[in-house]
Amino acid sequence: MVAGENAHSRYFSEDVYKEAKDPKELLIIPDADHVDMYYNKEKIPFAKLREFFGENLK
């Protein structure tokens, strides 16, 4: 799960994360809101996403 620190919907990600089965990871992106996770390429954690999916989607 990836959520912006300032996203109004952040609690959705936190709630789903608590209920999810492993493997799981929750990334809270500092100084980001919900829209940043779609449009701000400087804040989207592409490397971390590649790493997680590379390790867990086999």
Q: Which amino acid is at 19?
A: E
Q: How far apart are CA 4 and CA 31, in angstroms?
A: 7
Q: What is the pTM (predicted TM-score) of this model?
A: 0.87
The sign of the dihedral angle between the CA atoms of 55, 6, 19, 38 is: negative
Each residue's pLDDT, cut to its tens digit, for the chain (58 residues) gives 999 999 999 999 999 999 999 999 999 999 999 999 999 999 999 999 999 999 999 8
